[in-house]
């Protein structure tokens, strides 16, 4: 990483950082206070991750240059404390784009650099994981419910309940909402009779009467079935 800073060393009070990263997740998020922002999770070649935000007034400037899966060089940005109950990385800080931030094209970082860090079912179920942080999960779907339509904040929303099994035969309940419920239900129907490995990125740990489960979190999460990933091949073997 000659000439580049590592994500691990990023901290406030300095602007002229220069990093080479892959955008492993990108989504838009609306909040009453901040309007429509672009949110990203970035990973460097060492596998270190950090969250990044482009505020509403800069979104049109940067949106054409940012795509999920692309590798970019970022120069000159701010760093702010990471807080809240939907944190995408363990990094103490998150990147804020400035009007003077530069985004440069670069050679692609390796395809297998996914930033996926699946947690252990046991750690999630016994309460040892901090629920402020979103988690990655990998498991085989062994139980699935019908899609239900439930009212959430006065709006009809699809819901599907699943059970995942890991390589130690531990079971983890998972609930998917909205489009994910429909998409996963259709995919399962098409693959009936075949083993289905589910990868949930940036899932939210839920607690109800001391029982723990995982679900998708707003626009942040990503769900894929039998994706072509080294981690899935390793899980199956």
CATH 2.40.50.140 in the chain is located at: 7-105, 121-236
> CA 77, 82, 87 angle in degrees (round to 5)?
120
Q: What is the CATH T-level fold of the domain 7-105, as seen in this structure?
A: OB fold (Dihydrolipoamide Acetyltransferase, E2P) (2.40.50)
Q: CA–CA separation, 109 vs 131, rounded Å?
A: 30
- Encode pLDDT of 203-219 as tens digits: 999 999 889 999 999 78
> Structure pTM?
0.92
The residue among 16, 82, 78, 77 whose CA lies nearest residue 49 is 82
- Encode pLDDT of 129-188 as tens digits: 999 999 999 999 999 999 999 988 888 999 999 999 999 999 999 999 999 999 999 988
pLDDT at 1 over 70: no
> Please, are residues 199 and 232 in contact by the beta-carbon 8 Å criterion?
yes
The class level of CATH for 121-236 reads mainly beta
Give the up-direction half-sphere exposure of residue 24: CA atoms within 13 A in the CB hemisphere: 28
């Amino acid at each position: 990483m000659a000439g580049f800073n590592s994500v691990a060393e990023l901290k406030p009070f300095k602007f002229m950082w220069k990093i080479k990263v892959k955008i492993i997740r990108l989504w838009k998020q609306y909040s009453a206070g901040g309007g429509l922002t672009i949110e990203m999770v970035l990973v460097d070649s060492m596998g270190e991750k950090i969250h990044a935000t482009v505020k509403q007034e800069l979104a049109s400037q940067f949106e054409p240059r940012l795509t999920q899966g692309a590798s970019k060089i970022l120069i000159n940005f701010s760093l702010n404390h990471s807080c809240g109950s939907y944190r995408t990385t363990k990094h103490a800080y998150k990147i804020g784009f400035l009007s003077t931030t530069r985004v440069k094209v670069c050679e692609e970082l390796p395809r297998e650099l996914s930033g996926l860090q699946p947690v252990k079912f046991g750690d999630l179920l016994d309460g040892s994981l901090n629920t402020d942080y979103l988690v990655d999960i990998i498991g085989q779907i062994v139980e699935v419910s019908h899609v239900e339509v439930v009212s959430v904040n006065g709006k009809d929303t699809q819901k599907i309940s699943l059970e995942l099994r890991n390589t130690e035969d531990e079971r983890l309940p998972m609930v998917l909402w909205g489009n994910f419920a429909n998409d996963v239900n259709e995919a399962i129907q098409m693959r009936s009779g075949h083993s289905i490995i589910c990868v949930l990125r940036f899932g939210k740990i839920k607690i109800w009467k001391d029982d723990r489960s995982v679900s998708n979190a707003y626009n942040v999460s990503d769900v894929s079935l039998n994706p072509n990933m080294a981690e899935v091949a390793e899980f199956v073997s």
